[in-house]
Structure 1
C-alpha cells in the first residue's frame, strides 16, 4: 500500500466503518450525543467532505507550518517591535488572546466529540484532524502571548481569562459552551464549522492578520495566518452535515443556523467591532466594521443560505440595522466600564477619528455624539470620577451583553429598550426580541446567570463595584484604563469654555445612599437618552422623586447633560406622580422603569 498512489487507496480508507456485533448501535451512538434525529441511519453513508487529506499529508503540512511560525517568532524575539506597537493595537491583541486562546481548547472538545459520535466514517476522520488543529491553535495562542507577560501583565489573561467570571468572558463562554459542548454533534457541526468558522472567524482572521501587518505586529499576523489555514480545512465538516439535515429535517436546520448566526454576531460585535473601528490606528484602517461585515460575512452567509436552500433568518432586517449600532454601544460600554476588562480600551473619538466614524456611520453623531461630549467635558475638567461607573449595567439573559441596543422607533428616534419576559414568576431581561425568542425556545438549556443576577443573589461580596471587580478576578495592575491616557480629549478643550478647567461635582445628588437591606429592591432603570440600562437599588418607601434622583445619579453629569428641569418616572408606559412611593406604584424587584426630564419625556422610553 505504501507504494500505491494516494488516490488509489484514499477512497477505501477514508470511510472505513463496520457493523457492530457485540454492542447495540444505539448504545455506541446514543441519540443525545449523535443527534441524528429524522435523518435515517443509512443516509449518513452519503456524507462526503469536499477537500480530502490523508494523515501523512496532514502531518507533513502541519510540520511545515509549525516550523515557519516558530522561525518568525524566534527571529523577532530579539527585536524591539513590541515597544513600538500602538497601544490601541495592543488592545486588539490582548482582547483576542483572552477571548480566543482557551476557546480553541473548547473547540478541541467539540471536534473530539464529533470524532467519537459522528455517524459517518469520513466525518470522524476529518474531526480527528480538526481536534489536532484546535489543540495546536490553543498552544500557539498561549505560547505567543506568554512572551509578553513580563512586559505587560494583561497578556497573562490569554490563559487566565476563561478561568474567571469576567462579564465579557461569561458572554463568550455562554456562546461557546452552547455552540461546542451542550448540543449533539449534528448541531455542533452546523453551529461551529459552518456558522461560526465558515461564516465568521475564517474571514475575520484574514482581516485581522492584514491589520496586524499594517500595525507592525508581524508576530501576531504570522500566528493568525497559521491558524486560519487550519480553520479553512476543518470548517468543511458543516456543509455535508447541513445537506443531510436539509433533506430530512429542514425546520431544524433553519433554526440551528438562525439562532447561532445571531448569537455569534452579537459576541462578534463586542470582540471585533471595537477592534476594527476604535482600537486599530486610524491610518491603518482599511474598512469599517460594517463594510467588512457587508462585504465578507454577509456575502458569505447569503451564499451559504442559497447553496443549501435555507431562507434568510426572520430577524434579518434587525441584524442589518444593528451593523450601524451594536458595536458602537458595546464599545462605549466597554470604555466606561474599562476597569472590568483586561485590556486598555482606546476611546477612538479624537476629532479625526470622529470625522471618520461620521463618514462611515451617518447616525453616529446623533446617537453617540452627545454622550461622548459629556464624557469629554468631564475628562477635560478633571472630573474623572464621573467617567467611571458606580453600578453595573443590566445584562441580557441570552447573549449576556449589556442592554444597550438602540432600535428605531416610529417617530424616527433611536432608543434603547428592554424586552422582558416573566417565566415561573421570575422576570428575565433581553436586549432584543430575537434574544428573547432564542432564550424561550432553548430555555431548558440556558441556565447561566448574568453577573447582575449573581450580584443581586448575594454571590458577590461586598455587593458593590469593588466586589464585582474582585469576583471577576481583576487586580489593579490588570484593570483596563484608557489606552492613551485620555490625551485624545485635549482635541476638544477649546470648546468647553473657561469653567472646564475646574472639576465639577456630579449635578445630581442623593443617589449615594443605599437603603436599608430589609426595604431595598433592585430594579432595571434607564435615564433619558443614556445608552444603557442599570441595576439601581431603591427603597420600597422611596417616592418617585427620590427614585428619579437615584436613577439619574448614574447617568446625569456622566453621560447625559445636566438640565435644570424636573424629572418624571415612567412605569409600564405611564407617568407616575412624584409623591407616590415604590410600594404604592407596585414596582417590584427586577421591574423596569424609565426616568427623563419632564418636558422631554416620552411614553414608553
Structure 2
C-alpha cells in the first residue's frame, strides 16, 4: 500500500504562540554578556537557555489578539469621551470629586506612565526570554496609551480649572508630591534593570496597587456619573492586569533558586 500523504495544515493558536514567543537565537558576533549586560538585565544573571526554559507567563496573548483588543477598547473609550465633550460633562460633575480625587489622579499619573513605557522597553530589549520580551513590548505600547489618554482627559478639564495643567508639568515643579513621586519612580522604574523592574513594578506595584487603584477609581467615577473616566480606568485596568503577570515567572526563578542552580551546573 502506498502511504497516505499527510495534509498540510496551519499550526493551531497554541502551537503558533509557543513557536513565535519562545524564539531565541545564539549570538555569533558578540558574547552573551555583551548582548545582555548584567547592569541592564539584572541578577540572577542566568544563561539565556535557562531563562527561556523557566519563563512561562500565565497571561498569553498574540500580537493579532493584542491589536484587536486594544482597538476595541480605544473605540469604546473615545466614543464615550466624545459624548462627554459634547454634553460638557466636566462642568456638571461634583466639584469635590472633579477637582479633588479625580484631579489628583489625572495630573499625577500620566508622566509616570511615560516613564513606565521606557522601563517596559528596557525589558523588551534586555529580558532574557522571548516571551518576556514580547509581553514587555505590548506593555510599553500600553503605557504610552495610558499616558496619552489620561493627558487628553486632563486637557478636557483645563477649562474648568488650571490645576489640570499639572498633568504636563507634574515632574518639573518642586512641591512635596512631585519630589516624592520622582524619587519613588526613579527607584522602581527609571533606574532599574529588567529584572528589578519586573519584580518591583510589574509584580509588586501593579499587582498590589495599580490594579486595585483603577478598579476603585472606576467605581468611584461611575458613582459620580463621570462615565468618561470610569470607562477609561476600566480600559487601563485590563492592561495593568496583563502587566502584573510579567513579573510572576521572574519571581519564580528566585523562589526556585536551588533548582535553577542545579540546572546551571548540569549545563556547565
TM-score, normalised by the number of residues in structure 2: 0.88
5 Å matches for 1:86-235?
86-90=94-98, 91-235=100-244
| SS of residue matched to 1:94 | helix
Deviation of the 1:86 alpha carbon: 1.9
Q: Does 1:30 align with 2:15?
A: no
2:26, 2:226 → 1: CA distance?
52
1:224, 1:80 → 2: CA distance?
20
Deviation of the 1:40 alpha carbon: 4.8
1:98, 1:200 → 2: CA distance?
18
1:101, 1:22 → 2: CA distance?
40
Deviation of the 1:80 alpha carbon: 3.9
Q: Is the 8 A contact 1:38 1:248 kept in 2?
A: no
Task: Kindly provide the CA deviation profile for residues 305-326 of structure 1, in whole angstroms up to 9, marking residues without a partner as x.
Answer: xxxxxxxxxxxxxxxxxxxxxx
1:224, 1:165 → 2: CA distance?
28
1:221, 1:235 → 2: CA distance?
21
Aligned counterpart in structure 2 of residue 82 of structure 1, from 66, 84, 90: 90
Deviation of the 1:38 alpha carbon: 5.5
Provide the residue aligned with 2:249 in structure 1: 240
Q: Is the 8 A contact 1:202 1:232 kept in 2?
A: yes
| SS of residue matched to 1:16 | coil
Task: Kindly provide the CA deviation profile for residues 395-439 of structure 1, in whole angstroms up to 9, marking residues without a partner as x.
Answer: xxxxxxxxxxxxxxxxxxxxxxxxxxxxxxxxxxxxxxxxxxxxx
Aligned counterpart in structure 1 of residue 78 of structure 2, from 49, 65, 70: 70
Task: Kindly provide the CA deviation profile for residues 273-296 of structure 1, in whole angstroms up to 9, marking residues without a partner as x.
Answer: xxxxxxxxxxxxxxxxxxxxxxxx
1:74, 1:138 → 2: CA distance?
18
Stretches of structure 1 that go unaligned for 5 or more consecutive residues are: 250-605
5 Å matches for 1:323-334?
none
Q: Does 1:48 align with 2:56?
A: yes
**Structure 2 CA distance for partners of 1:21 and 1:40, relative to 1, 3 Å:** closer
Aligned counterpart in structure 2 of residue 6 of structure 1, from 13, 20, 34: 13
Task: Kindly provide the CA deviation profile for residues 51-86 of structure 1, in whole angstroms up to 9, marking residues without a partner as x.
Answer: 111101100110000000000001111214322322
2:199, 2:73 → 1: CA distance?
27
Deviation of the 1:25 alpha carbon: 1.0
Higher gyration radius (CA): 1
**Structure 2 CA distance for partners of 1:2 and 1:127, relative to 1, 3 Å:** farther
Deviation of the 1:222 alpha carbon: 1.3
Q: Is the 8 A contact 2:120 2:140 kept in 1?
A: yes
Aligned counterpart in structure 1 of residue 66 of structure 2, from 58, 61, 68: 58
1:48, 1:235 → 2: CA distance?
14
Provide the residue aligned with 1:16 in structure 2: 23
| Alignment coverage as a number of residue pairs | 249
Query: Which structure has more RCO (C-alpha within 8 Å, separation ≥ 6)?
Result: 2
1:70, 1:224 → 2: CA distance?
13
**Structure 2 CA distance for partners of 1:206 and 1:2, relative to 1, 3 Å:** farther
5 Å matches for 1:476-495?
none
**Structure 2 CA distance for partners of 1:26 and 1:93, relative to 1, 3 Å:** same
Q: Is the 8 A contact 2:107 2:154 kept in 1?
A: no
Q: Is the 8 A contact 2:217 2:230 kept in 1?
A: yes
1:36, 1:2 → 2: CA distance?
42
Deviation of the 1:4 alpha carbon: 4.1
5 Å matches for 1:435-454?
none
Q: Is the 8 A contact 2:90 2:160 kept in 1?
A: no
Q: Is the 8 A contact 1:39 1:245 kept in 2?
A: no
Task: Kindly provide the CA deviation profile for residues 499-550 of structure 1, in whole angstroms up to 9, marking residues without a partner as x.
Answer: xxxxxxxxxxxxxxxxxxxxxxxxxxxxxxxxxxxxxxxxxxxxxxxxxxxx
Deviation of the 1:23 alpha carbon: 0.8
Stretches of structure 2 that go unaligned for 5 or more consecutive residues are: 1-7, 259-268
Q: Is the 8 A contact 1:107 1:134 kept in 2?
A: yes
Q: Is the 8 A contact 2:48 2:129 kept in 1?
A: no
1:114, 1:73 → 2: CA distance?
32
Q: Is the 8 A contact 1:206 1:228 kept in 2?
A: yes
5 Å matches for 1:507-526?
none
